[in-house]
Structure 1
Amino acid sequence: MKGWRGLAVGAAALSVAVAGCGTSSDNAGGDPGAPKTLTVWLMDGSAPTTLTDALNKEFQDSNPGVTVKYEVQKWNGIQEKLTTALTSNNPPDVIELGNTQTAKFAAEETLYDLSGDVNDLNGDQWLGGLKDSLTWDGKQYGMPFYAANRTVIYRTDLFEAAGIASAPTSRDEWVAAIEKLKAANAADPDFQPLYLPGQSWYSLLSFIWDEGGDVAKPQGSAWAGALDTPQAKAGVEFYKKLVDVSGTKAPKDADEATPQQMEVFGTGKVGMMIGLPWELAGAVKANPDLESKTAAFPIPSKTAGKAAPVFLGGSNLAIPAGSQNPDLAKAYLKLLSGKKYQDMLAEGGSVPGTSTDTQKLATNPLGKALAESAPNGKVTPTTPAWAAVEAGQNPLKDMLTAYLTGAKPLDQATSDANASLSKTLAG
């Protein structure tokens, strides 16, 4: 998953000339004391300009003769652009990439091995799930930048009117809240206590992980599907329970982007959605009245009082293997990994990737829910083959639609999806 503010999963192809990749150094192979340029690529919307302006100025002031060439990239087409840049003679020196993209480029040996620099990059503060996304063949190929995860975004006024005194802290309480919302708004045929699209597979991951299952497991040097295990099936069953009890009108053959669930939530006819911070922001932008009427709670676990594991979508930072200024690039990452800039990320609404201190994030109900969920976060299998799962005919989406529509019983739906997933992961 790419940066959560853009969160367009999968990118359209974009042809990029090598000449557009930029030059990493004005003094390649020359006098080490001569002026140098450090080229940094960060993604559109990833970091506020207040952070990047301060970071680049501090770095330049601390490194006389070095100029930071800061370039903002678009998510659309970035995988193709990175592929071109990383195989050129003059790649950038620091790049941001989605945490599901990292394994692909690490396996292609186009990223710098930072295994020996983890301590300098505050590795003891890295979120566990994000660290996993940086690991390939036992080595570390970057550092976490930021993340966001899904929470249950809800209408506080509707909860109050339905007699729901507090946010649910277990699955049972969550189901009970759905039923209370449905009863309190029974006179409105357009009302949905929970909007849940049939193919919201990132939400499904939470339920599978909460049951102790997984979508895939390592099998030797490869990965194989694990969707046919009892634990994974239990997660799929709970997903269907939410769909059935809520009576959601969301399509069973589409995900949260078709239609955009934030637009549906913005109509005011929805009590809850499982969403990301930017989706709440989009709903409030469309319907400003919602700003004072919304809050969030972590996706509840089946174990009362605990949050379910969540998918950590976000970005990593890496150094291209062909960088002509790797030491400067490491120093840049070290500065960014410090508390000062991690706090600035948190203040901007992101889960900081290299700081376990979430105090700056937990200053509002949404940030508090993010902070409570993030330490229990996970990522999808760290294999280059996973990109084909998301970009192609996603077996998890097909499985959900088949089961929710009754086209296949649970055992067949999970078995078929598992076979398809294993085939894709095998390459």
Structure 2
Amino acid sequence: MKRKLMAAIGVATLAVGATACGTDDNGNGGSGSGGNTDSITVWLMDGSAPDAWIEELNAAFEEEHGVSVNVETQEWNGIQEKITTALSEDGTVDVLEIGNTQTVGFAGTGGLADLGEFEGEAWNATMLESATVDDTLYALPWYGANRVVVYDKGIWEEAGAEVPTTREEWIEALELIEENTDAEPIYLPGQSYYVMGGFVADEGGAFAVQEGEEWAGALNTPEAEAGMEFYARLQEFSNSPTDNDEASPQQSTEVVPQGDVASWIGLGWEVGGAIAAIEEQGDEADFGYFPVPGKTADQLGHVFLGGSNLAVSERAGDQDLAKEWLRMATSQEWAQKFVDENNGGVVPNRTDVTASPEEDTFAAAMVQSAEVGYLPPLTTGWANVEVVPNPIKDLMTKVLNGEDYTAAAEEADAEITTRINRD
């Protein structure tokens, strides 16, 4: 039976604290020994959870169940291969954090335990869909995150620019900055394709569409072309090359701190990195934040909604205890504590949990945008599209360099269609 992914939200990139509690002797993860009658092993990604939350949660779990919890911190780089290996072995890991788009792939290999007993909880509906394959629940939502516009308050004040509520007001603000200051109005790499995808979604388009049992690239459409056209309008205000993305160089630590950048589009962990880098130079960051504007004032722009799920290994050393830890960690009580520890800076996994961030913060802008999050194509083959060379990134560079959109889109769609239907 063809696997059906109900939804996929994506790998979260919001760092919300450093995880150090209960690591192995090396302090950086390692293979671990899995669960047994005395302990369970939990893999969490670096920066995913505040120390205080982990420590308090594990103390409560250990008191209730009489077993210790060994938390091993993992790095995102290379995690796909590491999890694949762990899920093929007995007792390596009991509970593990996985990016939302990874869930369907790991479930398809038989590596994740059925979590049907958790159905019916007050889960965030969109996040829950990312963990459901063939109507079976293989993971539980943990948190979500999305991008917002970060701006330098001093530069915007100097330019006489105001926070925009529409796309056109956004362009007008960038024009004022260009005319009245020496700053780069916006740093926008040529290949930030998830940012561009939000503009495509604003127009009602998508990277790919499902046609029966197959998928097809959908960039050669009026909607996708309109989204790319607006991206190009923004990119004209940037000094960035057209053939790089936000990670090469890292925009938050290698670009923003090095010059007068009036604004950029980023995630929470990037803001933290930028502030730290600026302070290391002896300066002080003065950032403001606003959601990506939409075409009209009554509709914010779409943003890619990232996130992480928590799952239980099918070959866990103690699957029952693993599920009990999962039950506690994702409960209303502990989910609310998780949001509170992060100062409201994550999208909650449950409808009975509230995020109330302080005004004029990244978190406040992010939570506003969460309601208009968009998703990548909902299939395991999407991972094949994102590998190098990414055809969407290639299209963006070609168009920004003046090549014909239709010809570039036809070529990209052919490659997307081939890759996305590949197992």
Aligned residue in 2 for 1:419: 414
- Where 1:193 maps in the other structure, the secondary structure is coil
Count of matched residue positions in the alignment of Structure 1 and Structure 2: 394
Alignment partners' CA distance in 1, 2:388 and 2:293: 30
- Where 1:192 maps in the other structure, the secondary structure is coil
Structure 2 gaps, min length 5: 1-9, 17-29
Deviations 1:235-291 (A, max 9, x none): 1111111122x2x11010110112221132223411110111122222211213775
Alignment partners' CA distance in 1, 2:81 and 2:355: 37
Aligned residue in 1 for 2:27: none
Alignment partners' CA distance in 1, 2:132 and 2:199: 25
Deviations 1:200-224 (A, max 9, x none): 1011111011111111122333422
Structure 1 gaps, min length 5: 8-19, 27-34
The answer to whether 1:326 aligns with 2:328 is: no
Do the aligned partners of residues 84 and 214 (structure 1) sit closer, same or farther apart at CA in structure 2, a change above 3 Å counting?
same
Return the offset for 1:40: 0.9
Do the aligned partners of residues 79 and 139 (structure 1) sit closer, same or farther apart at CA in structure 2, a change above 3 Å counting?
same
Aligned residue in 2 for 1:4: 13
| 1:233-382 equivalent positions in 2, closer than 5 A | 233-244=225-236, 246=237, 248-262=238-252, 263-288=254-279, 291=284, 293-346=286-339, 347-348=341-342, 350-356=345-351, 357-382=353-378
Return the offset for 1:3: 4.1
Do the aligned partners of 1:148 and 1:313 also contact (CA within 8 Å) in 2? yes
Alignment partners' CA distance in 2, 1:312 and 1:213: 16
Aligned residue in 2 for 1:229: 221
Do the aligned partners of residues 233 and 131 (structure 1) sit closer, same or farther apart at CA in structure 2, a change above 3 Å counting?
farther
Alignment partners' CA distance in 2, 1:68 and 1:192: 49
Tell me the TM-score normalised to structure 2 length.
Answer: 0.87
Return the offset for 1:405: 0.3
Identity among equivalent positions (%) equals 40
Deviations 1:308-330 (A, max 9, x none): 12112231111112224333222
Do the aligned partners of residues 292 and 253 (structure 1) sit closer, same or farther apart at CA in structure 2, a change above 3 Å counting?
closer
Do the aligned partners of 2:198 and 2:374 also contact (CA within 8 Å) in 1? no
The answer to whether 1:387 aligns with 2:383 is: yes
Aligned residue in 1 for 2:23: none
Q: Quick one: which of 118, 124, 130 aligns to 1:126? A: 124
Do the aligned partners of residues 219 and 140 (structure 1) sit closer, same or farther apart at CA in structure 2, a change above 3 Å counting?
farther
The answer to whether 1:22 aligns with 2:35 is: no
Do the aligned partners of residues 219 and 322 (structure 1) sit closer, same or farther apart at CA in structure 2, a change above 3 Å counting?
farther
Return the offset for 1:86: 0.4
Tell me the TM-score normalised to structure 1 length.
Answer: 0.86
Alignment partners' CA distance in 1, 2:114 and 2:241: 44
Alignment partners' CA distance in 1, 2:191 and 2:267: 16
The answer to whether 1:150 aligns with 2:147 is: yes
Q: Which amino acid aligns with 1:416?
A: E
Aligned residue in 2 for 1:114: 115
Aligned residue in 1 for 2:104: 103
Do the aligned partners of 2:202 and 2:295 also contact (CA within 8 Å) in 1? yes
Alignment partners' CA distance in 1, 2:128 and 2:197: 18
Do the aligned partners of 2:14 and 2:145 also contact (CA within 8 Å) in 1? no
Q: Which stretch shows the higher mean deviation, 284-293 or 209-218?
A: 284-293
